[in-house]
Amino acid sequence: MSTVKHSPYIIIGAGIHGLSTAYHLALELKARGKGSGRDIIVVDKTGVSAGASGIACGVIRNNYYQPAMRELMAHSVQVWETDPAAYSYNPVGYMQISSESMHEDVASIYQQQRAIGYESTFIEGAADCSSYMLDIFHDWQAQGITSVLHEKSGGYANNSKALQGLSAKAEAEGVRIIAGVTVTGFDRDSQGSINRVQTETGDIQCDYVVVAPGPWAKQFWDMLEMPSTISIKNPDTGVIADHIPMWIYWSLQEGTLGVDPNLQKTNDGRMPPVIHVDTDAPLYSDKDGSLITDKMWGIYYKPDFHFGGIQGGAAPFIVDKPADAVAVDPYGPESPEFIVGNDFSTMWVSALAHCQKRFSGTMPQYKDEPSGGIGAFTPDSFPVFDIFHGNCYMIADSNHGYKMLGVGKLVAEDICGDQSRLLEPFRFSRYREGKLHPVSNSPFPWS
């Protein structure tokens, strides 16, 4: 329970963004002679890693069709690499494996990765792709694959261990992390700036606020009295669409197959890259051979000793109910989408078997436990990083969150007066100005 009455900086949320911002802001203040970590508190209604960051898949990649996202992710990968032990980071690499409908997009990603010096290998053509994958996995059998983009950097991190390491770094710099503090609102001065954060345990005066809410973005957006609908300018036609909902909820589909993670080792006995497959090849049930889908589908997976098996997910779907119905607590019991159902497990394990023979017949070993959750997405499914009311920095990650460890570093620099070129494409003004990010052919809204 908080007894703090004032803090120069209040950071709301003890997930990946809140903790990263706290740690890097402490470093920036000290380096500039403007203060220290003792000027920063992090408040969370539950505690470190209690929300989305605590159950995140933990994949860390550069693989984006959008140039701005690609540069931002390259920066974040560099931050992960600064302290792999503390961040529980596994630099095994990442593979985007795709059918012909994705070929042009993935080729573009490869060329732009080369332009920014991000090391990757690109394989084209069905025969060469099959040969490349069989050199890694002897039982590779996915059909219709015509491109493989193998990123040599990236990989995944153990989610809760990474956050524990990050919180330890922040606390070593003097940052105070206070659990059990639920924020209920904000007071603003005559100029419109926030001067007080209201909580259930008492108000806290402040000079600056950082909101890092994860899937609770809409609730804080409302507390900040921001518009529930916005206008978006079409960059091609100049036509402005009005009354577009600011927040859309997607059900995130993730789970774990409870087999020995060592089952997924490569032909040479190493831990493999993270595998991501997007394909339009028909997918058949590994249980009874029935057709699951003949439309575009996608999965990602990796061995993970923290989860105790092969962990990953599939493309999410928009929640088929009003957003307010899940807005109270996206990770609470009133959100039925939090429990991954049989439809997902059948699809995902069948997709694993479609890709690699070793997973055929493993359906009974799927873990029937909560995973995934609800994600709060922006209208274009990309983040908003911006300052509102003069002194409130909103980190609305649109579910791109966990891999973006470096965003906290850039936000800290932004707060201290060094405007970030990498964050500029993610300002809220892009909607009315029509400065939107290009859209890929991936079935995933965050690609």
User: In this predicted model, what pLDDT tens digit does every residue of 243-277 receive, in sequence order?
Assistant: 999 999 887 788 899 999 999 999 999 999 999 99
Within 8 A by CB and 6+ apart from 63, the residues are 73, 94, 96, 109, 149, 151, 154, 276, 447
% of the chain with per-residue pLDDT over 90: 76
- Average pLDDT for the chain: 90
* pLDDT confidence of residue 374: 78
CA distance 10 to 419: 20
CA distance 417 to 413: 6
Rounded to 5 degrees, what angle do the CA atoms 230, 232, 233 make? 155
* pLDDT confidence of residue 62: 87
73, β-bridge pairs = none
* pLDDT confidence of residue 329: 42
**β-strand pairing of 297-304 with 155-157:** unpaired
* pLDDT confidence of residue 447: 62
In the predicted model, residues of the chain with pLDDT beneath 70 are 1-2, 320-342, 369-372, 443-447
- Which of 161, 185, 157, 159 shows the shortest CA–CA distance to 52? 159
In angstroms, how far is CA 18 from the centroid of its own chain? Answer: 14
**β-strand pairing of 194-199 with 183-188:** antiparallel
Backbone angle region of 62, left / alpha / beta, with phi > 0 → left and psi within -120 to 50 → alpha: alpha
**β-strand pairing of 155-157 with 240-245:** unpaired
CA distances from 429 to 151, 194, 232, 432 (A): 32, 21, 10, 6
* pLDDT confidence of residue 174: 98
* pLDDT confidence of residue 445: 62
* pLDDT confidence of residue 46: 92
Three-state secondary structure string covering the chain: CCCCCEEEEEEECCCHHHHHHHHHHHHHHHHCCCCCHHHEEEEECCCCCCCHHHHCCCEECCCCCCHHHHHHHHHHHHHHCCCCCCCCEECCCEEEEEEHHHHHHHHHHHHHHHHCCCCEEEEECHHHHHHHHHHHCCCECCCCEEEEEEECCCEEECHHHHHHHHHHHHHHCCCEEEECCCEEEEEECCCCCEEEEEECCCCEEEEEEEECCHHHHHHHHHHCCCCCEEEEECCCCCCEEEEEECCEEEEEEEEEECCCHHHHCCCCCCCCCEEEEEECCCEECCCCCCEEECCCEEEEEEEECCCCEEEEEEEEEECCCCHHHCCCCCCCCCCHHHCCCHHHHHHHHHHHHHHEHHHCCCHHHECCCCCCEEEEECCCCCCEEEEECCCEEEEECCCCCCCCCCHHHHHHHHHCCCCCCCCHHHCCCHHHHCCCCCCCCCCCCCC
* pLDDT confidence of residue 1: 47
Q: Domains of the chain: which residue ranges?
A: 1-58+158-241+382-447
- Which of 415, 426, 309 shows the shortest CA–CA distance to 368? 309
Tokens of 125: 């053509």
CATH number of 1-58+158-241+382-447: 3.50.50.60
- Which of 308, 299, 280 shows the shortest CA–CA distance to 345? 299
φ and ψ at residue 404, rounded to 5 degrees: -90, 50
* pLDDT confidence of residue 283: 96
Contact, 119 vs 298, CB < 8 A?
no
Three-state secondary structure string covering 142-156: CCCEEEEEEECCCEE
- Find the Cα–Cα–Cα–Cα dihedral 409, 60, 269, 256, rounded to 10°: 130
Q: Kindly report the pTM of this predicted structure.
A: 0.90
* pLDDT confidence of residue 57: 76
* pLDDT confidence of residue 52: 75
* pLDDT confidence of residue 399: 85
CA distance 116 to 270: 28
